[in-house]
Amino acid sequence: MSSDALLTVAPQRWARSAYGRLRSLWQRWFLWLLLAVLVSVLLVTVVWLAGRHEVEQVQAQLDRDTADAVSDLRSGFQRNAQSLRATQAPGTDRAKWNDAAAALLREHREWLRLEWRDAALRPVEAVNTPYRMRLLDEASRGPEQSDVMLACAAARKLGAGAYSPSHYVPIAGGGGIEVMEFCVPIDAGGFLVASYSLRDALIELVGPTLTRGQEVAFTETDGTRLVALGSSRRVGTRVFTSQQLIDLPGAALMLRVDGWRAAPDLFPNMLTALVTAISIALVSVLVLLARDTRRRLRAERDLADALAFRKAMEDSVITGLRARDLQGRITYVNPAFCEMVGFTPDELMADNADAPYWPTELAHEYQQRQARRLAGGMPPREGFESVFMRKDGTRFPVLIFEAPLINAHRVQTGWMSAFIDVSEQRRIEELSRASQERLQASARLATVGEMASLLSHELTQPLAAIASYASGSLNLLGPNAKGDQGEVAMAVKRIAEQADRAGQVIRSVHDFVRRRDRTREAVAPQALIDAVLPLVRLQARKLGVIIEVVLEDRLPAAMCDRTLVEQVLLNLARNAMQAMDSPDNVGSRVLRLRVARAVAVGGSTAADDARRWLEFSVADLGCGISDDVAERLFTPFFTTRADGMGLGLSLCRTVVEQHGGALMHEPNRPRGTIFRFTLPST
């Protein structure tokens, strides 16, 4: 290649290389320039949106203020109308009306004058405001005044208060005010007219905060300004206007509010743009952190699932769980434990609180046991029983299992305990034991029934023989026996009577055991008492007991099985005398037998029901019946005497209930017990 060719090619290569470098540099800077333009556009957009948002906020606030002012004006006009009507409360007395009108004018500065006019709109009375010199000429306030005529015509048509369009009233010395007439018809005929000063209405009926930094004005519906209040526009501010219609009966006004606000500042919006730019710069950092965040969220989600699974397991078990640290403070309890003892977790885990579920009488024992645990003593693996106390003070048995609480570093940090409430198990065991006792009692009752049937069968013949021998002896002694023979005859007669009575008792018991229907008869209460008194008096003489018998007058006869009821009376009387024979009983021994008409039977207090029942009561002055004994008093085979069988009261209640009555007991005053039972009467 010649030198001329080399000279030609070298510049071309240099030109191409320079063009390539320039193009690469341009592309690189173009991207940055494009990014800068996009960021600038974003910043300008943010600033513009912020300024527009501020303008919208200012306009919205102004609209709300205007709406509140319109609401205040309407409420004020309505209150004034009601106050104006109230001036007619005294009636048609002009002096009283003048006093009421003057009082109203002192309270309402927006009123210039109050007038009372008749049906032809002629003034009857008029009172001017004390806060201004007289502005309204009396000569111009005649019935032909157009504004008053318009307002009253509208009021007559509507049957309520009406307003007139505003009119200008000049003031001496120049200027004037805008006045609006308000007319109210009255029941007695005529009208009440109030003259409003629109400027004073703005001052009195609109809140003073509305006129601060802005202008408030009344205008006509076509925009003609009537009155205005507030500050004038400042230089460098822009106008925000809001206006709303005040639709009054007979007239309409516009409330216009012009707000003077400075143009939106650039500095706060620039801060917003800078924050946006920094946020864009931080996107790259967020992208780098996204992977780590995803891993962290995945780990947290797995941990939350594990915690939720463990929480569900703890809430579902009925075993109480409690964790304690090495100092003995409770660090965790599950809901089952809280429900078991009745305390909240906050109460159980309080720093300054001992275990509130420890019974007071066993607290020392629990503290010793806890001291052994904290000293390193291992509890038995099979657990141990203890007693806890609920929040209401009730005790209940628990089975406790304890184990050391070991952390991930194989270091003991406390103790974990599991509690099982065994009160239900104990209750079931008690029910099982009671059921066994009832079965045994039923078996004994069956045996007693068989024995009673056997004895009734076996004793019938000896008693019949005794009665036959007694009758033969009476026949041998003869009916005219005297002296010793007469006494022997009387004793043999008593033997025959008691033998016959014993036979009747055996037959009654036999029929009672076999559940046969007994024939009931009408028996006088005196006869029932007299039948058992000889046997009762025999035991009373041995025990030193005084017997008192009380019967109401004209008692009806009782419908009953005579023999069984006599046995009930005899059994209750013997029990009463034995209760007074106790060594603990000190004082007089009196047995009181009483028969009366029943006051109430089965909870009924109806008079017609009470007259059909008789009440027998046996009262003693013994040691009384305790609450524990009263719960089991009528249980078969339950007795408080060493020689008793525990069947007497149970059989007595059965006999009374078979007659339709009820056997009850209650404390006697000053001491002792009263047993009562009822029987149907004829």
What's this model's pTM, rounded to 2 decimal places?
0.38
On whether the 519-680 domain is CATH 3.65.10.10, my answer is no
Of 583, 662, 678, nearest to 622 (Cα)? Answer: 583
Residue bearing tokens 């003048």: 98
Contact between 664 and 675 under an 8 Å Cβ cutoff? The reply is yes
Q: Structurally, what CATH architecture does the domain formed by 317-421 represent?
A: 2-Layer Sandwich (3.30)
C-alpha–C-alpha distance, residues 663 and 655, integer Å = 9
C-alpha–C-alpha distance, residues 526 and 336, integer Å = 66
Look up residue 240 and give its amino acid: F
- Nearest-5° Cα angle at 671, 582 to 632: 70
Could you tell me which residues come within 8 angstroms of residue 467 by beta carbon, excluding any fewer than 6 positions away? 496, 499, 500, 503
> Residue 659 above 80 pLDDT?
yes
Strand extents, DSSP E, 610-681: 613-619, 663-667, 673-680
Question: Which of 155-164, 341-350, 594-603 reaches the highest mean pLDDT?
Answer: 155-164
> Residue 3 above 60 pLDDT?
no
> Residue 435 above 80 pLDDT?
no
Over pLDDT 70: what percentage of the chain?
73
Contact between 373 and 400 under an 8 Å Cβ cutoff? The reply is no
> Residue 645 above 70 pLDDT?
no
> Residue 348 above 70 pLDDT?
yes
Residue 241 has which token pair? 């206007």
CA dist list (Å): 9 to 18, 19, 20, 169, 677: 14, 15, 17, 102, 144
**What pLDDT is stored for residue 12 in this prediction?**
59
pLDDT category at 618 given cuts 50, 70, 90 is: very high
Which sequence spans correspond to the domains of the chain?
A: 75-262, 317-421, 428-500, 519-680
Residue 196 has which token pair? 């409003």
Q: Where are the alpha helices (DSSP H) in 514-638?
A: 525-543, 562-580, 607-610, 627-631
Residue bearing tokens 């007058």: 553
**What pLDDT is stored for residue 504 in this prediction?**
67
Contact between 622 and 579 under an 8 Å Cβ cutoff? The reply is yes
> Residue 9 above 50 pLDDT?
no
Query: What's the gap between Cα 455 and its chain centre?
Result: 65
**What pLDDT is stored for residue 515 in this prediction?**
53
Q: What is the pLDDT of residues 66-119, one digit of tens each?
A: 888 888 888 888 888 888 888 776 566 777 888 888 888 888 888 888 888 888
Assign residue 180 a region (left: φ > 0; alpha: ψ between -120 and 50; beta: otherwise): beta
More confident residue, 596 or 643: 596
Strand 546-551 and strand 590-597: pairing? parallel
Looking at every residue in the chain, the average pLDDT score rounds to 78
CA dist list (Å): 242 to 7, 212, 231: 81, 15, 16
DSSP state, 390? -
Could you tell me which residues come within 8 angstroms of residue 381 by beta carbon, excluding any fewer than 6 positions away? 401
β partners of residue 395: 389
Residue 349 has which token pair? 């885990």
Q: What is the pLDDT of residues 272-297, one digit of tens each?
A: 656 666 667 756 665 666 677 678 77
Over pLDDT 90: what percentage of the chain?
8
pLDDT category at 6 given cuts 50, 70, 90 is: very low
**What pLDDT is stored for residue 660 in this prediction?**
87
DSSP state, 466? H
More confident residue, 464 or 331: 331
**What pLDDT is stored for residue 208 in this prediction?**
77
More confident residue, 343 or 438: 343
Q: Which long-range contacts (CB under 8 A, 24 or more apart) does 42-46 make?
A: 42/273, 42/276, 42/277, 42/280, 43/273, 43/276, 43/277, 46/269, 46/272, 46/273, 46/276
Q: What is the pLDDT of residues 216-247, one digit of tens each?
A: 888 888 888 888 887 776 665 677 888 888 88
Q: What is the pLDDT of residues 470-511, one digit of tens each?
A: 777 777 777 666 666 667 777 777 777 777 767 666 666 666
Phi first, then psi: give them for residue 402, nearest 5 degrees.
-125, 150
Residue bearing tokens 């001491």: 671
Residue 373 has which token pair? 């645990």
**What pLDDT is stored for residue 592 in this prediction?**
92
Q: Domain 428-500, what fold?
A: Helix Hairpins (1.10.287)
C-alpha–C-alpha distance, residues 2 and 8, integer Å = 10
Q: Structurally, what CATH architecture does the domain formed by 75-262 represent?
A: 2-Layer Sandwich (3.30)
More confident residue, 665 or 223: 665
Query: What's the gap between Cα 592 and its chain centre?
Result: 53
Same fold, 75-262 and 519-680: no
Strand 395-406 and strand 521-523: pairing? unpaired
Contact between 151 and 181 under an 8 Å Cβ cutoff? The reply is yes
Instruction: Kindly provide the b/e burial profile for residues 588-625, where b requires at least 16 CB atoms within 10 angstroms of the residue's own CB.
Output: ebebbbbbeebeebeeeeeeeebebbbbbbbbbbbbbb
Residue 246 has which token pair? 């005040």
> Residue 614 above 90 pLDDT?
yes
Could you tell me which residues come within 8 angstroms of residue 130 by beta carbon, excluding any fewer than 6 positions away? 102, 105, 106
E strand or H helix at 599, and its extent?
A: none
DSSP string, 308-355: HHHHHHHHH--SEEEEEETTS-EEEE-HHHHHHHT--HHHHT-TT---
Q: What is the pLDDT of residues 374-398, one digit of tens each?
A: 666 666 666 778 888 888 888 888 8
Q: Report the Cα–Cα distance between both ends of the chain, in Å, rounded.
A: 160
**What pLDDT is stored for residue 27 in this prediction?**
61
C-alpha–C-alpha distance, residues 389 and 616, integer Å = 47
Q: What is the pLDDT of residues 13-69, one digit of tens each?
A: 556 655 665 665 566 556 656 665 676 676 667 667 766 777 787 788 888 888 888
**What pLDDT is stored for residue 364 in this prediction?**
76
Contact between 234 and 210 under an 8 Å Cβ cutoff? The reply is no
CA dist list (Å): 303 to 54, 92, 286, 307, 526: 46, 88, 24, 6, 89
